């Protein structure tokens, strides 16, 4: 699953980039560089979202699963 800013905001019940920034521990400016709400967020942040909330975004793949998916 590719995670967009809109998906993050919807599932986390956030309304702003600032809330996403706080959740990821980055600046609001960093989040704004990810593009529009429909843009897919950087891969590293997708992994982080899965690690922080596997109940919402699914568990991050194990090393072997990640290799097979590539």
Q: How many domains does one find in the chain?
A: 1
Give the span between the Cα atoms of 52 and 68, in whole angstroms.
Answer: 23
CATH code, 28: 1.10.260
The parent domain of residue 60 ranges over 5-69
| Percent of the chain clearing pLDDT 90 (strictly above) | 80
Residue 11's pLDDT band, with cuts at 50, 70 and 90, is very high
Give the span between the Cα atoms of 23 and 30, in whole angstroms.
Answer: 12
What is residue 1's predicted lDDT score, i.e. its pLDDT? 76
Residue owning tokens 């922080």: 52
């Amino acid at each position: 699953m590719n995670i967009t800013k809109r998906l993050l905001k919807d599932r986390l019940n956030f309304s702003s980039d600032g809330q996403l920034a706080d959740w990821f521990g980055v600046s609001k400016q960093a989040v704004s560089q990810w593009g529009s709400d429909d843009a897919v967020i950087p891969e590293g942040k997708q992994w982080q979202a899965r690690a922080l909330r596997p109940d919402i975004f699914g568990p991050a793949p194990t090393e072997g699963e990640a290799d097979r998916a590539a």
